[in-house]
Amino acid sequence: MAVRAVRGAVQLDEDDAAHMGERVGALLTAVLERNGLSAEDLISIWFTATPDLRSDFPAAAARHLGIVDVPLICAQELDIAGAMPRVVRLLAHVETGLAKPDIQHVYLGATAALRKDIAQ
């Protein structure tokens, strides 16, 4: 097994805790499913949120999915003029047999425009 990093992002329609939980949960589920991973394969996850999201911690969505023994951290994205609003990003460190080129990075909805080079 190798340690790999998986990227992902999702845009929220509004700054609402329930909506954040739903969207971040969908993102995390897609990252796991598309890479054939389970919660046991997770080493850690780093979440960031744009400064306009203040209703909840993105990591709370992972806890609601039952990911309770994985280190999680949340941080704020840089406040850059013209950046896409209401975006949660994640960087997950995982144990997997996948080679680097086979990792499926997940950018849901409009966030696919953020990383056209790696979005699946």
Domain span including residue 82: 2-113
Does 112 score more than 90 pLDDT? no
Alpha carbon distance 22, 2 (integer Å): 30
For the stretch 77-99, pLDDT in tens is 999 999 999 999 999 999 999 99
Does 118 score more than 90 pLDDT? no
115 belongs to an annotated ligand binding site: no
Measuring CA to CA, which residue among 41, 53, 39 is closest to residue 11?
A: 53
What's the pLDDT score for residue 85? Answer: 98
Alpha carbon distance 117, 112 (integer Å): 9
- Domain membership of residue 63 (yes or no) is yes
C-beta separation of 100 from 4 below 8 A: yes
86 belongs to an annotated ligand binding site: no
- Domain membership of residue 15 (yes or no) is yes
What's the pLDDT score for residue 4? Answer: 98
For the stretch 28-80, pLDDT in tens is 999 999 999 999 999 999 999 999 999 999 999 999 999 999 999 999 999 99
What's the pLDDT score for residue 119? Answer: 54
- Domain membership of residue 72 (yes or no) is yes
Alpha carbon distance 9, 33 (integer Å): 15
Residue 120 — very low, low, confident or very high, per pLDDT cuts 50/70/90? Answer: low
Domain count, the chain: 1
- Domain membership of residue 118 (yes or no) is no
- Domain membership of residue 68 (yes or no) is yes
- Domain membership of residue 33 (yes or no) is yes
- Domain membership of residue 120 (yes or no) is no
What tokens were used for 117? 């080079």
Alpha carbon distance 111, 119 (integer Å): 9
- Domain membership of residue 88 (yes or no) is yes
23 belongs to an annotated ligand binding site: no
CATH number at residue 86: 3.30.1330.40
